[in-house]
Amino acid sequence: MKIYSKILQKVICALFVCLLFNSCVTEEFSEIDQQNGIERVQPEEAFPGIIGNEVEVELFGEPATMAEINKTIVFEGDILIPYENEGDTKLAGLTGRRWTNNTVYYEIQSSLTNQARVTNAIAHWEANTALRFVKRTTQSNYIYFQTSTGCSSYVGMIGGRQVINLAPGCSTGNTIHEIGHAVGIFHEQSRADRDEYVRILFENIITGREGNFRTYIANGQSGEDYTSTLDFGSIMMYGPTFFSKNGSPTITKLDGSTYSIQRTSLSVNDIEGINKMYPSSTSGTVTLKGNNGQYVSSENGVKSMNCNRSAANSWETFTIIDEGGGTVSIRGNNGKYVSSENGTKPINCNRTTPGSWAKFTLVSRGGNKYAIRANINGKYISSENGTKEMTCNRTSIGAWEEFTITGL
C-alpha cells in the first residue's frame, strides 16, 4: 500500500531540530541489565509493543517508511501524522510549523490522572526557554493533553486541536519529552551527523523497528541540527538497548561502549537548540524613571529595589524580554530577573530564571510612560516615590505607578 503526503517543505525545514523517533512510554522505569551492566529505561511508544503495518510515504519527493497502527499513521514509533479526511488514505502531512509568538495554548482533559505531571512539565519548559504555555480559552490551535495507552505527540503546530497522549505511567520527564515533539523537536540519534558519534547495530533491532533508527535525511526529510554535537544527555535521546530483540545494544558509542540516558529534564544542549528555534525577543538596554524624576535601581540584587537614583549607572539599566503572549520579564545588569515577590514584600532583582513572580505586563500610559503589572497577582509596581523600597501591591495606577521607560 502506498500513501502520498504533501508536506510544506520550507516550513518544516525551519522547524526540525535534530531529533527524531518514538515518543513516550507506557511506563518509565529503570532496571539493570545483568548481562551487559546497562541501566535500562523503557522506550517511548505511541502503541507499546505493537509494530503495525509498514506503509510507504512520499516526503519531499523521496520515499519513507511509516507504520499504520489502529488506523493511525505513526512516524518513527511515536510521532502521529493526521489523515486529511476521516476515512481517507491520504495524509495531511507534517506541516512542521512553529508556535507563533513563542506561545503554546493548551487544555488538559478533566479525566487525565496525575495532572501535576503536565503542569510541572510546562513549568520546566517555561523556566528554561522563551516558550510560554497559556491555558486555552477560544484559541483554535492548541495542545490537548489526554489519557491513552501510550505516549505520543504530533511534531510542531499542525493546526487545530492536537493531542499529546499520556498513559498513566508516563512521568513528568516523559511529558517534557512529548512537549518537545509538540514544539518541533525530533529525537537526538536521528541527527544528520550522528554516525560521527554512534554506531547503530541493526542486527540487534526488532524486525520492523529499523526505521526508528534512521537519520531524518535517510527518512527523506529536510531538517536542521541546532546544536554542534550529538548530546547523549538529551531528554530526546534513545537508550542503548531501545527496541532490542535480544537484550544486546542497538546503539553504542563509536568505541563500542554504552551510555546512560535520562528522562528528568531538558539538557543544556536541548535548551540551546530550542532557544535557537524560539529565541526570546529582547529590548536594548533601558532605564526606568519614576514620576519623582529618579531612576529605578536593581541594587545589584543584594537588597530590595529602590527608585531614588539621580543618574543611571549600571545598576539602573535593564533589559525588557518578550516572554510571549504580551508578557515580559525584566532583567537587571546583574543578569538576574526582577521579582514582584507576589506583592507580599518589596521587589527584588535576584531571580536566576523568570518564574511566575517575574512575569509582567507593560500597560501603556501614552508616549514612553508605562505602568508595570505583575501577572501573578494583577497588582502594579510602585516607586513609593523613592522614599522607601519599591513594592508590587497597588490595585490601581497613580502617579507613583507610572514609569518612563527610555530605550524600549
Together in a domain, 267 and 295: no
**Which segment of 6-10, 212-216, 359-363, 378-382 scores lowest on mean pLDDT?**
6-10
Q: Mean of the pLDDT values across residues 33-57?
A: 65
Q: Which span out of 30-39, 54-63, 81-90, 95-104 was modeled with the highest average pLDDT?
A: 95-104
Together in a domain, 223 and 326: no
Mean pLDDT score of the chain, rounded to an integer?
82
Together in a domain, 85 and 194: yes
Together in a domain, 269 and 318: no
Written as one string, the DSSP assignment of 328-350 is: EEEEETTSPEEE-GGGSS--EEE
Residue 373's domain spans which residues? 281-406
- Last residue of one domain, picked from the residues 277, 298, 327: 277
Can you name the residues that pair with 396 across neighbouring β-strands? none
Together in a domain, 306 and 378: yes
Q: How far apart are CA 1 and CA 53, in angstroms?
A: 10
pLDDT-based confidence at residue 223 (cuts at 50, 70, 90): low
First-to-last alpha carbon distance for the chain, in angstroms, is 57
**Which segment of 65-74, 105-114, 380-389 scores lowest on mean pLDDT?**
65-74
Together in a domain, 116 and 224: yes
User: Is the pLDDT reported for residue 29 higher than 50?
Assistant: no
* Residue 112: Cβ within 10 Å count: 16
Query: Catalytic site residue 178?
Result: yes
**Which segment of 92-106, 117-131, 299-313, 347-361 scores lowest on mean pLDDT?**
92-106
Q: Mean of the pLDDT values across residues 242-261?
A: 95
Together in a domain, 21 and 168: yes
Together in a domain, 259 and 317: no
Q: Mean of the pLDDT values across residues 359-366?
A: 90
Find, among 182, 243, 184, the residue nearest to 214 by Cα: 243
Q: How far apart are CA 352 and CA 302, in angstroms?
A: 13
Q: Mean of the pLDDT values across residues 25-45?
A: 48
**Which segment of 90-104, 228-242, 307-321 scores lowest on mean pLDDT?**
90-104
Q: By three-state DSSP, how is residue 318 classified?
A: strand
Residue of 28, 44, 45, 178 marked catalytic: 178
Output the domain CATH number for residue 164: 3.40.390.10
pLDDT-based confidence at residue 86 (cuts at 50, 70, 90): very low
User: Is the pLDDT reported for residue 85 higher than 60?
Assistant: no
Count of domains forming the chain: 2
Q: How far apart are CA 101 and CA 133, in angstroms?
A: 11
Q: By three-state DSSP, how is residue 101 classified?
A: helix
Together in a domain, 289 and 263: no
Q: Mean of the pLDDT values across residues 13-34?
A: 37
Task: Look at residue 25 in the predicted model and tell me its pLDDT.
Answer: 38
- Return the axis-axis angle of helices 116-128 and 172-182, rounded to nearest 10°: 60
Together in a domain, 241 and 314: no
Q: How far apart are CA 366 and CA 297, in angstroms?
A: 23
Q: Which span out of 42-51, 214-223, 356-365 was modeled with the highest average pLDDT?
A: 356-365
pLDDT-based confidence at residue 217 (cuts at 50, 70, 90): low
Instruction: Specify the higher pLDDT residue, 22 or 313.
Output: 313
Helix (H) or strand (E) holding 295: strand 295-297
Binding residues for Zn(2+): 177, 181, 187
Dihedral of CA 268/269/272/274: which sign?
A: negative
Together in a domain, 270 and 329: no
Cβ contact 274:131 at 8 Å: yes
Residue identified by cell 511509516 is 66
User: Is the pLDDT reported for residue 366 higher than 70?
Assistant: yes
Task: Look at residue 198 in the predicted model and tell me its pLDDT.
Answer: 97
C-alpha distances (whole Å) from 371 to each of 77, 304, 365, 387 are 50, 19, 7, 19
* Phi and psi torsions of 371, nearest 5°: -100, 155
* Phi and psi torsions of 72, nearest 5°: -120, 135
Output the domain CATH number for residue 375: 2.80.10.50
- Last residue of one domain, picked from the residues 246, 277, 308: 277
Helix (H) or strand (E) holding 372: strand 369-374
Task: Look at residue 82 in the predicted model and tell me its pLDDT.
Answer: 65
Task: Look at residue 176 in the predicted model and tell me its pLDDT.
Answer: 96
Q: How far apart are CA 297 and CA 407, in angstroms?
A: 16
Q: How far apart are CA 339 and CA 346, in angstroms?
A: 9
User: Is the pLDDT reported for residue 23 higher than 80?
Assistant: no
Task: Look at residue 350 in the predicted model and tell me its pLDDT.
Answer: 95
- Last residue of one domain, picked from the residues 262, 277, 292: 277
Binding residues: 177, 181, 187
Strands annotated E in 30-166: 30-33, 38-41, 53-59, 62-69, 72-75, 79-81, 103-108, 132-135, 142-147, 152-153, 161-166
* Phi and psi torsions of 188, nearest 5°: -65, -40
Together in a domain, 263 and 322: no
Task: Look at residue 65 in the predicted model and tell me its pLDDT.
Answer: 66
pLDDT-based confidence at residue 281 (cuts at 50, 70, 90): low
